[in-house]
Homo-oligomer: A and B are copies of this chain.
Amino acid sequence: MLIQTKISASSPAPHLTCLPEAAAVVQQALPCPVSFYARDQVIYAQGEAVGPLYLVEFGTVRIVRLTADGRRQINAFHFAGEVFGFEASAEHQCYAESVDGVGIRVLRPSGGQGFGVQALQLALKAMERAQHHALMLGRMNATERFAAFLLDLAQRQDSDRVVGLPMQRNDIADYLGLTFETVSRVLRHFKDRHIIRLAAVDEIEVMNFDALEDCAG
């Protein structure tokens, strides 16, 4: 029972504010329609054949890995202008799912040589992110992980103060290798110290950037 629909009719120009690395790949790709996914839908599943790359037009995508007994680790979140979908093997090792309502454009290689080179740049960036993620998970405590996460979000949304949290606590927890209760407690910790303010449950105002950066190491 798919609620997924296609907005294929007009197919406007690809997302204009995409990241510098992504931009190059997008320009190499043939124009394709945008698909819409409602929240918590599977974009591709573990075990499926690896297909094209995807560009996020709007919304948030999560890249998820599961252990045999169902524990969940979120490897990455992807926002508007970011590209996801590369994998080393022929089969996807991860699930890609919509966090909220998401618009996605498939990037079909135009056949030009530039595509592969640009894809390499994206893959390297993804590797770098994954390695930094490992450092967080292996060697930082709960508050440090959350501070690093928040700073990363702030930077990618290049918002100087207000940071949106489109994903729910459970997703944050599974990204940070914590429980959602712990995420909640860390939030309270930062609120109590006037480092952040919760404008809404999904919107954080950073009151003290320096303190956050101290935490994140």
Contact = CB atoms under 8 A, between A and B. Distances in A.
A110 to B, nearest CB: 16
Interface stretch (A7-15, A61-69, A189-197): A61-69
A130 B135 contact: no
Contact of A134 (B67, B73, B89, B123): B73
Given A135-B73, A137-B177, A217 B67 contact: yes
Contacts of A176: 138
A131 B130 contact: yes
Contacts of A113: 113
A184 to B, nearest CB: 18
A50 B151 CA distance: 26
Nearest to A116: B117
B88 A139 contact: no
A87 B124 contact: yes
Interface string A103-124: 0000000000100110111011
A49 interface: no
A169 interface: no
Interface in A73-100: 73, 75, 86-89, 93-94
A71 B113 CA distance: 42
A87 B120 CA distance: 10
A87 to B, nearest CB: 7
A144 to B, nearest CB: 8
Contacts of A116: 116-117, 120
Q: Which 5 A-B pairs have the closest CB atoms?
A: A138-B177, A130-B130, A137-B137, A88-B124, A88-B128
Interface of A: 63, 65, 67-69, 71-73, 75, 86-89, 93-94, 113, 116-117, 119-121, 123-128, 130-135, 137-140, 174, 176-177, 217
